[in-house]
Amino acid sequence: MVDIAFGPELGRRPDLADNRKDYLEMVRRKRMYGGLLLVLFIALMSSGWMLADDRNAGGFWGGLHQVFDFPSEVLTEAWDKRPNLPALFSKHLPALIETLNIAAVATLIGAVAAMSLSLLATRGLARWPRLIPVFRRMMDALRAIPEIVIALVLIYILGGGPVPAVIAIALHTGGALGKLFSEVAENADLKPVEGLASVGANWSQRMWLGVIPQVAPNWLSYALLRFEINVRASAILGFVGEGGIGHDLKLAMQWGQGRYDQVVAIFLLLFLAIVVIDRVSDHYRHKLVKGH
Partner 1 sequence: MTTSLSPSLAESVNRRFDRKRRMAFAVPAAIIAYLVYAAISFDIAGLVNRARFDNASILLSDFWSHKTHVTRDNRNGKLTVAIEGESKGTYPEGMLPDWVSVSDGVTTIDLGDGHIVTYDQAGARYVVPGYGTIDVRPDGDRPVITAPEPIPDWIAVAENRVGVTTTAGRFTYTRSKVETFKYHAGWELWFFTLDSPFHGKGFGELAALALSGDRIDPDRSNLGYMASEFWTNRMWRHGDVAWAIFETILMAFLGTMTAAIVALPLSFLAARNFMPLGIFRGAARRVFDFIRGVDGLIWTIILSRAFGPGPMTGAIAIAITDTGSFGKTFSEALENIDEKQVEGVRSTGANALQRARFGVIPQVMPILLAQVLYYLESNTRSATVIGAIVGGGIGLLLTQAIITQKDWEEVAYYMVLIVLMVMLMDSLSGWLRRKLIKGK
| Interface residue list for partner 1 (CB under 8 A) | 41, 44-45, 48-49, 51-53, 55-60, 63-64, 66-67, 69-71, 98, 101, 104-105, 108, 140-141, 143-149, 152-153, 156-159, 161-163, 166, 232, 235-236, 239-240, 246, 249, 253, 267, 270-271, 274-275, 278
- Nearest-approach distance from CB 111 to partner 1, in angstroms: 10
Which one, 5 or 157, has the nearer CB to partner 1? 157
- Nearest-approach distance from CB 282 to partner 1, in angstroms: 9
- Nearest-approach distance from CB 128 to partner 1, in angstroms: 24
Which one, 56 or 187, has the nearer CB to partner 1? 56
- Nearest-approach distance from CB 45 to partner 1, in angstroms: 6
Which one, 70 or 79, has the nearer CB to partner 1? 70
DSSP line for the chain? -HHHHT-S-TTTS--GGGHHHHHHHHHHHHHHHHHHHHHHHHHHHHHHHHHHHHHSSS-HHHHHTTTTHHHHHHHHHHHHTGGGHHHHHHHHHHHHHHHHHHHHHHHHHHHHHHHHHHHHTSTTT-SSGGGHHHHHHHHHHHHHS-HHHHHHHHHHHH-SSHHHHHHHHHHHHHHHHHHHHHHHHHTS-SHHHHHHHHTT--HHHHIIIIIHHHHHHHHHHHHHHHHHHHHHHHHHHHHHSSSHHHHHHHHHHHH-TT-HHHHHHHHHHHHHHHHHHHHHHHHHHHHHHH--
Which one, 51 or 87, has the nearer CB to partner 1? 51
- Nearest-approach distance from CB 132 to partner 1, in angstroms: 18
